Chains A and B, each alone.
Chain A
Amino acid sequence: MKPRRHLVLVLVLASLLASCGGPVFHLTSPDNDQTALTAALSRRQLPEQPAPLNTARTPRVFVLAAGGGGGKAKQLIAYDLQRGAILWKQDADVQSRIWVGGNFIVELEGKQLVARDQQTGAVKWQTDVPGEFIGATADGERAYVAYKANASTWWLAGYDGASGKQLWKADADGVLGAPMAHGGIVYAPYNQQWLSLIDGATGKIAARIRGIDEGISMLRVTSRVAYYGSKQGVFRLDAKSASGKRADSSYVQLVVPPQLDKTTYGRDTYDPIQNAYTAADRSRILYAAPAEGMQLDAYAVHYFRFVFGFDHSGTLVWAYSNPRVELVASEDTGAAIVAISQTGDLVALDPANGAVRLDQNILTGAGAGLVLGATFDADGWSPPAQGEKTETVAALVSIARDHDARFDRVKELAVQALAKLPGGEVTQELLGVLADKRAPQHLKDVVVDLLVARKDPASLSVLTAQLAAHDDFLLQTEPLALGPVAKAIAGLGGAKLDPAALSAALVALQSHLDAPTTQVADLVFVIDAMAAIGGGKERPALGSHLLLYHADDDLGSDPAWDKAIVLALENHGGPGERELLRQVAADPRTKPSLVAIIRDALAND
């Protein structure tokens, strides 16, 4: 077939498809048309400043809680964040998350999409979902539902928010994801690669974006900004989105530590499970875009009980650890990180430093059970800052000492962050992890490496204090992390140390050098540490130690000990120590392995 005839055939087929009323969502719609996109975006009715969506513009959180016991139904609770009071509560068998409209909310009860009055919680209307529920959303005026009618047809329908009357519906020949509404425009993910912008009043496609180098499976909407993307990164929806490419869009991939795996930028619109509140809501990257673009100064990660704050480079700068129970929902309002716990504790954190601006239980007296999930309608809101203290060290310590085995990797992150902070207090806390018999060994290994790498002179006295414990039958004590502590002290070699602290450290180290039960594995670190910081004061003790054991069947034949003691005296000693080594090497009783090491060490003399 000639090219011209082929083109004609395609045009004819396209024309036929259009004339016979094909699906609204289909593969051949125009993509990435900047003019259409700009026009569609400009039609959104968005507030001038970040603000809650509800008509009263009052910050609220809508909570779904389990019944208070005795087989009671679930409870829907509306809470006024501004006043700090429950607006209303209703028993309702809610099967989904809650979507907030202007003066109503919608949620799924059984097969029914139910709209409730936002002031009272009373049912305004309800309607059948005529297929498999894919997702719902709402804006000031309308509610929208996506559902799957059969194996090959999906629908998106618009309903009047006041009456529940269906206004329109549009079909799709491919998979639709859960939609999100935004000021009169509905974002409808399609076939993992497209994001359609639908006129909420008519159901007509206003524009469509095709992700060229990244799929589109995530949607998040705030009062003024819409975000889309995938697990890999997040786009800001703006005129640049018409490029379809990361490089030419407002796009960012935030650095999330590997210990916080499975965190996402927003809900997966293609995962029907996430139409309800799930564990996915407990591991979320929280962010708020600047006025334009996606260059974020900071962001946070909500990870079950914890919230971590990062700067633009991905450095952890603060942490919050919620006592005992997990945070089940969270949101970055742009002015605060807000979250609610399983037991109804509402917390608001300063996004800059993690300071706790609000911590109050919103379910006190409500007779509700555990919180299953919540939807915040609080964009731009924050409790007033009142000079709250940041408790990052305490939070990191709390995380590191947590005994919940699910968070072992998070504990690594916490100790790594702790180790970057200066001061003896932090060292003390790290040592506390080593002393904790229930702490996982891998975490202890990480702490040891961090202590060694820390090289914090201010910590010497803390490390020395840790050496106070000895193997003592009567006191029932034993050295705690002797090797690691000695290793950490050795790491201070060359640093300017307080003379008094240095002397105390040498005394403490020598007490372990001389102790009868110090194991070789620890002894070599003790020797290294004495040599590293001693500045010559350690030589008599080390020399005496060498003499005492140079012919010993156990120590004298141990290659690690041989090497440690010889190098300590050879590298850090003077002529006297080298002469001592020569004499020991000449002693017929000296173990051959030790003689060999001494000869190697003195080879250049």
Chain B
Amino acid sequence: MWVLAFVCTSGLCAAAPKPGAKPDRKGEIAQLAIVLDGGDDEAAAKAAATLGESADPAAHEALLDGLAFGLRAPVATEALTALAKHPAPPDVSSLKRYSTHHNPTVRSSALTALSLYPDPVAHAAVVQGLHDPAGVVRGAAANAAAKAHVREAIEPLFALLARGEESAARALAAMADADLVRKLGDQLGKVPDASLALCLGLVLRRPDFGPDAERVEVVRAIGKITDQAAVNALTDYLDATPKNPPRQSRAEAEKMVEARLGGGAK
């Protein structure tokens, strides 16, 4: 019913259906497809969103068709997001095509969408996005890499971390396991202290990261960072974790903070 309502408010409905009448889903989708390909960007974007909400394969096809014939940037952004709501393998080539669009917002949307596809082509596109000249696109690619746990992205993410990119720190933190934490610790002196502290701090705060022995390693790695950001990361960890039950990682973090701050007990 809401699809129909949208179409009607968009002026695309010749006559309102009779109350209680069974909605003509195919007709609605066809109408939305027409709007999607129309000249009104706002209506087309809404049509894309509406199509994305539908689980009907025809809606998905309509989105793919619209993307194939070429959508204007604001519409494409919505359509890419909508497409990924019901991921299907054929989507990848369409998303990849838009992942190198001239418009950075479109690229970002495509990369975000690609994170939902466990496909080597999708992963390769995400990795390529990390090389993008536009920071916003690199950020989207980093988020996508983290979300999809793209292992091939780790090396370029380290390279971005070395350039102080916060999105890379966040992505690596999200992807980190014990082995990756060790590699991150080895980056001391090779990447900006603040970025490394942020990254390790975020690892520490991940509820799924553990056991505590591994968190201790993270705390110790942070402890080697002289930048104030290290203290901030440890303080954030202390703030985010209860004193009880006692954790060695918390205790070590507390000691380090006290030592750095000159004895002020937390």
Contact = CB atoms under 8 A, between A and B. Distances in A.
Interface of A: 471-475, 514-517, 544, 546-555, 587-589
Contacts of A547: 68-70
Contact of B130 (A474, A514, A544, A554): A474
Given A588-B38, A589-B38, A516 B69 contact: no
A515 B69 CA distance: 19
Given A553-B73, A589-B38, A474 B156 contact: yes
A550 B107 CA distance: 17
B247 interface: no
Contact of A554 (B69, B102, B104): B102
Interface string B59-76: 000000000111111000
Nearest to B39: A588
Contact of B132 (A516, A550, A554, A588): A516
Contacts of B69: 547, 587
Contacts of A553: 72-73
Interface of B: 37-39, 68-73, 97-98, 100-104, 107, 130-134, 137-138, 156, 159-160
A515 B129 CA distance: 11
Nearest to A472: B131
Contacts of A514: 97, 100
Given A514-B100, A588-B38, A474 B160 contact: yes
Contacts of A472: 131, 133
Contact of A474 (B38, B39, B131): B131
17 contacts: A473-B138, A474-B130, A514-B97, A514-B100, A515-B100, A516-B100, A516-B104, A516-B137, A517-B133, A546-B70, A547-B68, A548-B97, A548-B101, A551-B70, A551-B72, A589-B38, A589-B72
A554 B133 CA distance: 19
A546 B97 CA distance: 13
Contacts, number: 58
Contacts of A517: 102, 133
A552 B97 contact: no
Contact of B133 (A471, A544, A550, A588): A471
Contacts of B138: 473
The 9 closest A-B pairs by CB, nearest first: A547-B70, A588-B39, A472-B131, A516-B100, A474-B131, A551-B72, A548-B70, A514-B100, A474-B159
Given A471-B133, A474-B159, A589-B39, A555 B102 contact: yes
Contacts of A549: 70, 102
A550 B70 contact: yes
Contacts of B98: 548
A472 B107 CA distance: 15
Contacts of A546: 70
Given A473-B131, A516-B132, A552 B102 contact: yes
Nearest to B98: A548
A321 B45 CA distance: 65
Contacts of B102: 516-517, 549, 552, 554-555
Given A516-B102, A548-B101, A549-B102, A473 B132 contact: yes
Contacts of A554: 102
Contacts of B130: 474
